[in-house]
Amino acid sequence: MTRNRRASQRVLVFLVIASSFISIDLSLAEAQMTLDRPQPRLMPEYKWASLSERQRGIYVRGFLETVSFVLYGHSQQNNEEHAQIFSDWTLCAERQLLSRWQTLDWGLGELEKTAAAQFYDAAPSVCKDSARKGDKTWRTVWLLKPAEWKSLSLHDRAIYLMAYVETFFAGSQRAKDTANERKLDICIAKAGIEGLISSMEQTRIESQYPLPWSVSRALGATCKRVGEGTR
């Protein structure tokens, strides 16, 4: 195995480890309700097929920024290897064309797979040229600026939020964190993407940070309301 291949695989492994820390405040008993359902799947193949290239780019940017958010939140900033992995991801996100991120598995008949899950699979290949080339700084991926977010329609904002949720969920699946899968499942199954959109509209955008910092607060508020509504 080449050095670049080993390095790019370490990036993916760390994404999986980082995802295991994600936590949403819902009880495990409530989460059991959706044990046997592969949720949430907010952007199925037929919806993806209807998106324009620009809209697919919104989803991809949501994926790239959300992965960066997770990595940043669960990295040790005095750890040189974590810094290398984090900056490698930033370099890949900024260098590679958005069109490099493809949903090829749907063409092979794997229709239950989310776009985010497929992008996780594609990461070692797409990012191989960035492996070990990051500058080891903690500069986050920031591709969608606040001014552009404000200019998006509600439909396009929903696409970004779907990417955020599906990226978190795919990471939990890879980390085999079934409890967290269920928690996120029950929240989105009850609130729907509409509930998250509504919460996001009421959330102050932290313009000094990439969008996932604000989305995480909106999701937390959404899931809290879901939890309170089941008591």
Which residue's structure tokens are 């929903």?
Answer: 158
H helix intervals, the chain: 3-19, 28-31, 45-50, 53-73, 80-95, 104-107, 115-126, 146-151, 154-174, 178-201, 212-229
**What would the pLDDT profile of 35-46 be if each residue is shown by its tens digit?**
344 557 899 999
Which residue's structure tokens are 């409530």?
Answer: 30
Which residue's structure tokens are 């991801």?
Answer: 89
**What would the pLDDT profile of 101-151 be if each residue is shown by its tens digit?**
999 999 999 999 999 999 999 999 999 999 999 999 999 999 999 999 999
Question: Is the pLDDT score of 16 beyond 50?
Answer: no
**What would the pLDDT profile of 159-211 be if each residue is shown by its tens digit?**
999 999 999 899 888 878 888 888 899 999 999 999 999 999 999 999 999 99
Residue type, 225: R
**What is the number of other CB atoms lying within 10 angstroms of the CB of residue 195?**
19
Phi-psi label, residue 55: left if phi above 0, alpha if psi -120 to 50, beta otherwise: alpha
Higher pLDDT, 81 or 9: 81
Whether 165 contacts 188, CB under 8 Å? yes
Radius of gyration of the chain (CA): 17
- CB-count burial class (<10 Å; 0-12, 13-18, 19+) for 149: middle
**What is the number of other CB atoms lying within 10 angstroms of the CB of residue 214?**
18
* pLDDT band for position 14 (cuts 50, 70, 90): low
**What is the number of other CB atoms lying within 10 angstroms of the CB of residue 199?**
21
Reported pTM: 0.85
Q: Which two tokens stand for residue 153?
A: 């329609």
